[in-house]
Amino acid sequence: MVGRIQTLDDFDQIAQDVYATNYLAIASVALLAYDHVITIKQEINLMWRSRWSVTKIVYVWNRYFALLTLSFNASIRLREITSDASCGASLQLLGGCATIIVSTVDFVLMLRVWILYGRPRILLYIIIPLIIGEVVGLTIIEALTVMSLDPYIHAGPTITGCFSLIVPQYFAFYPIPPLIITSIMFVMTAYKCGQTLYGYRRTRMPIVSLFLRDGVFWFLAVFAVGLPQMILTYVGRATLSEVMIGPSLAVYSVIASRALLNIKHIMSSHEYPDATLADSMELPSLQFRSTGRTGQTWITSVDEGVVDL
């Protein structure tokens, strides 16, 4: 099956691929909506009741722009589009939105690492080129891919959405920039957290443990959705190349939102005497030093955005 439908079996296979992609598109919206529902109480208490800050702006943007994008993706999959021009425009818009979501999530990841290392200016010289390079790389891959998707399959209501029988293999490179950035940030997070936890191994350090735990989950989640997308695009059928778009964007959005909520939660918990930090938190740098303890629990204090343990 190269560039055209040759037999009835080919048509049946395409229909199965289309149904799989469409079902996962709907499931992705459901996953994101479900995560909204189960975290809405945290979101209200930690985000909406706090003043506007970098944390809140990034959280709200990621949370609701991702939901709109996934809903748009599902709408493309579920309706019959009869012209190649409409398909091209829809996929171009979807690709641009996907790039924005991925870049926003990786920005959150890099911001966490920058905070963890004490917000050094030299680290910005690494982070800024990385995020710019990712945006440029993803935009180029997405634009070239959409321009190469021609012709599209128009088979009435049986096969809805926009699917092409010819998808360039370089579309498999789309997950590579996020995978590279995630790997770099994971190594930096593991090194810094491991070094700190080992140096204060008799000390209770919930913030460092949180950064390490979320970093591990982040790394595993990105690879769990990125690698299948690469494999399916490179060696799979062309009609399966879009199957992981919805799940990938949903997972990216969820892990970024959860990471920001976790940071807000631990900074506003009872373990920190200055509860107002949750309302004024501008993602401060983290510096750790021992101040004293009662039994096995280390006393914590907050001073001008610096967390002392």
- The 10s digit of each residue's pLDDT in 276-285 is 333 333 444 5
Unique residue bearing structure tokens 């944390």: 55
Unique residue bearing structure tokens 């926003």: 104
- 123 assigned to some structural domain: yes
Distance (Å, whole) CA 285 – CA 305: 7
Instruction: Report the CATH number at residue 230.
Output: 1.20.1070.10
SS3 of residue 80 by DSSP: strand
Tell me which DSSP letter residue 44 carries: I
Distance (Å, whole) CA 192 – CA 91: 40
- The 10s digit of each residue's pLDDT in 179-214 is 999 999 999 999 999 988 888 877 777 788 888 988
**pLDDT grade for 292, boundaries at 50, 70 and 90:** very low
What stretches of the chain show up as alpha helix (H) in DSSP?
A: 8-38, 40-43, 54-78, 84-116, 121-148, 176-199, 206-235, 245-268, 277-280
- The 10s digit of each residue's pLDDT in 82-134 is 888 888 899 999 999 999 999 999 998 998 898 888 889 999 999 999 999 99
Above 90 in pLDDT, residue 9? no
The residue among 50 and 73 whose pLDDT is bigger is: 73
Mean pLDDT (the chain, rounded): 82
Above 50 in pLDDT, residue 2? no
Structurally, the chain folds into a number of domains equal to: 1
Best CA proximity match to 98, nearest among 163, 47, 171: 171
What is the percent of the chain with per-residue pLDDT over 90, rounded to a whole number? Answer: 47
- 283 assigned to some structural domain: no
Distance (Å, whole) CA 77 – CA 159: 9
Predicted local confidence at residue 5, as pLDDT? 53
Tokens of 85: 């021009």
Q: In degrees, to the nearest 5, what angle opens at C-alpha 38 toward C-alphas 33 and 41?
A: 115
- 288 assigned to some structural domain: no
Radius of gyration of the chain (CA): 22
- 285 assigned to some structural domain: no
Predicted local confidence at residue 290, as pLDDT? 43
Contacts of 25 (CB under 8 A, 6+ apart): 70, 73, 74, 77, 78, 245, 246
- 135 assigned to some structural domain: yes
- 307 assigned to some structural domain: no
What's the full length of the chain, in residues? 309
Distance (Å, whole) CA 307 – CA 301: 6
**pLDDT grade for 69, boundaries at 50, 70 and 90:** very high
- 268 assigned to some structural domain: yes
Above 50 in pLDDT, residue 224? yes
Predicted local confidence at residue 112, as pLDDT? 86
Predicted local confidence at residue 27, as pLDDT? 96
**pLDDT grade for 248, boundaries at 50, 70 and 90:** very high
Above 80 in pLDDT, residue 245? yes
Task: Summarize the confidence of residues 159-182 as an average pLDDT.
Answer: 90
Tell me which DSSP letter residue 46 carries: I
Pairing of strands 306-308, 301-303: antiparallel
Task: Summarize the confidence of residues 166-171 as an average pLDDT.
Answer: 88
Which residue segment(s) compose the domain that 73 sits in?
Answer: 8-275
- 137 assigned to some structural domain: yes
